[in-house]
Chains A and B, each alone.
Chain A
Amino acid sequence: SQQGEEDPQALSIQEGENATMNCSYKTSINNLQWYRQNSGRGLVHLILIRSNEREKHSGRLRVTLDTSKKSSSLLITASRAADTASYFCATEGNNRLAFGKGNQVVVIP
């Protein structure tokens, strides 16, 4: 089954800095999605990038997708304390969404 794998898994940054997370996958995909999860809560969808897209922006978020390398990155610019959360990439294929291990991001005020 498809499995995204994020790198690094834990990131601690100062407020205002940028945070970058990477995700790799192994099989062909229809799209790749990034989600955020606050502790003990459900997941919130952040951004979806289709397999024929290379880059997408949404507010302070920037996602890239390199299908030749089977990898994606999520950049959060000008981080805020409220961005503290776990971030997961998920790849979709065969009507199944498989999640990576997640990145714990801590933004220090």
Chain B
Amino acid sequence: GAVVSQHPSRVICKSGTSVKIECRSLDFQATTMFWYRQFPKQSLMLMATSNEGSKATYEQGVEKDKFLINHASLTLSTLTVTSAHPEDSSFYICSARDQVSYNSPLHFGNGTRLTVT
């Protein structure tokens, strides 16, 4: 089946530094990838929709200058958390769809646990 690889799985960084998270579709091309954020014991909150070759579409309340998304190829999207602060500590999950169809499921990466100290 379709596989989405997300790296790193865990990262600890100091406040003020930037962290890059990669999301790769391993055996399919993904024109669209989605980035979610999840707090403990809560649901997934959609942060942005990443479109290959164009600017990402951010959800209301998500700072585009803080959460930089790049989708330079059909198999790779990156999320960079810039000038990280402790409140950015969270579980970040990417997902992708392997068909250009609304009626196909999303395939998720295993998530990245970010801890900002």
Residues of A within 8 A of B (CB): 1, 30-31, 33, 35, 40-45, 48, 50, 88, 92, 95-102, 104
Contacts and interface: CB of A to CB of B under 8 A. Distances in A.
Q: Give the interface centre of A30, A40, A48 by most chain B CB atoms within 10 Å.
A: A40
Contact of A43 (B32, B59, B93): B93
A88 B108 CA distance: 13
Interface stretch (B12-20, B40-48, B71-79): B40-48
- Of the four ranges (under 10, 10 to 19, 20 to 34, 35 or more), the interface on chain B belongs to 20 to 34
B107 A45 contact: yes
Contacts of B111: 40-42
A25 B67 CA distance: 29
B91 interface: yes
B29 interface: no
Given A31-B102, A101-B43, A96 B107 contact: no
Given A40-B91, A43-B93, A99 B103 contact: no
B50 interface: no
Interface string B75-100: 00000000000000001010100000
Contacts of B6: 42
A97 B108 contact: no
A30 B108 contact: no
Contacts of A95: 32, 49, 102
Interface string B100-112: 0011111111110
